[in-house]
Amino acid sequence: MKKYSFSVMLLAMMLVIAACGEADETGGDAEGDDDQTEETGDDNGDGDEETAADWASDVTVLTGGEQGVYFPLGGAMAQIISDNVDDVAASGVSTGASVVNVNDIQDGMGELALVQNDIAYFAQEGMIMFDENLDGFSGIATLYPEVVQIVALEDSGIETVDDLEGKRVAVGDQGSGTEANASQILESHGITYDDINPEYMAFGDAAGGLQDGNLDAAFITAGTPTGAIESLQANRDIVIVSINQDAIDDLTSEYPYYTEFTVDGDTYGTEDATTVAVQAMLIASNDLPEDQVYEMTRAIFENLDVIEGTHARGADITIESAQDGMSIDLHPGAERYFDEQ
């Protein structure tokens, strides 16, 4: 909301600065909600704190790389919002995924984002890769399992996680949830980035690197089937590497959001592979008013067929399962919507 009435806010801020000689550099992006009606200049003093003028008319949905699942699903959600919520135009943008997305939503660079539930939790708690608690966003819904898939070419001879030592391994984009998963899974097998040659890149580039022989393996945490793996598998015989059972036990007990998951051999024409999964979730900026999040949540959940038509994992999204694995506080607008169901 405020991001898109920035010039009005700026003017208001300049007046405030002129009057008080004091400036809040964030311009009220994450704070100062109380001043909001003044900033938008529509405060008629009727005590109605949420007028339509508080809504974000442009909504950016932060997704992931183009060959992942966030990108098409986030685009479908943006389309649903634009088509069904009056006076709101939403668009999906490609990003480095989860860690980047929570940082960007915190910084007011997006209104909605797709993120992993483990990463959202680490961000809200200020742990692992987050130095401080991020409180600028909250949850709408959990969506579908995101599976940690370790992909290698069949003729590479890589059969176990231990075989990755000394190899060129794509560990996800900089600032992705995938990258966090890669380092945790390697660590659970006693391997660090010093023992491999880590390469930071999006899924599509990782698949291309495997195909061209420039990489030996790639970590991909995403819904299945993942486009990048499907396109690789169309040209090469691949394996999905299993994680050792001991490591799975360690990971699921040390980190609260990993669950054991089997990638069925039918998914990519491989052997079954045992690994771990987290959940994809949709989060909203706390700058968005309750009513707007309510309406956007309603639009999405009343048009799940559109999402399902975009990617198979859309079929996992239901009202009933929308709070399973929810790792952070709910946005009041989402809470109201789900309470009513």
**Residues in binding contact with ligand GLU, number by CB under 6 A:** 15
Rank residues 64 and 209 by Cβ distance to ligand GLU and give the closer one.
64
Per-residue DSSP letter, 241: P
Q: Is 70 in the site for ligand GLU (CB under 6 A)?
A: yes
Distance CA 249, CA 244 (A): 9
Distance CA 300, CA 36 (A): 27
**Which sign, positive or negative, has the C-alpha torsion 317, 304, 146, 286?**
negative
Rank residues 172 and 289 by Cβ distance to ligand GLU and give the closer one.
172
Rank residues 27 and 177 by Cβ distance to ligand GLU and give the closer one.
177
By CB under 6 A, name the one of 117, 221, 224, 267 that touches ligand GLU.
Answer: 221
**Which residue matches tokens 């990993």?**
258
Residue 195: CB minimum distance to ligand GLU, A: 22
Rank residues 92 and 172 by Cβ distance to ligand GLU and give the closer one.
172
Residue 299: CB minimum distance to ligand GLU, A: 21
By CB under 6 A, name the one of 222, 241, 273, 277 that touches ligand GLU.
Answer: 222
By CB under 6 A, name the one of 136, 177, 209, 314 that touches ligand GLU.
Answer: 177
Residue 107: CB minimum distance to ligand GLU, A: 17
145 Cβ contact partners less than 8 Å away, ≥ 6 residues apart: 223, 259, 261, 277, 278, 279, 280, 313, 316
Q: For 279-312, give the DSSP string.
A: EEEEEEETTS-HHHHHHHHHHHHT-HHHHHHH-G
Residue 289: CB minimum distance to ligand GLU, A: 27
On the CB side of 146, CA atoms within 13 Å amount to 28
By CB under 6 A, name the one of 5, 117, 176, 242 that touches ligand GLU.
Answer: 176
- Coil, strand or helix at 71: helix
Rank residues 16 and 69 by Cβ distance to ligand GLU and give the closer one.
69
Q: Is 122 in the site for ligand GLU (CB under 6 A)?
A: no
**Phi-psi category of residue 159: left, alpha or beta, with phi > 0 → left and psi -120 to 50 → alpha:** alpha
Which positions lie near ligand GLU, rule CB under 6 A? 64-65, 68-70, 97-98, 116, 146, 172, 176-178, 221-222
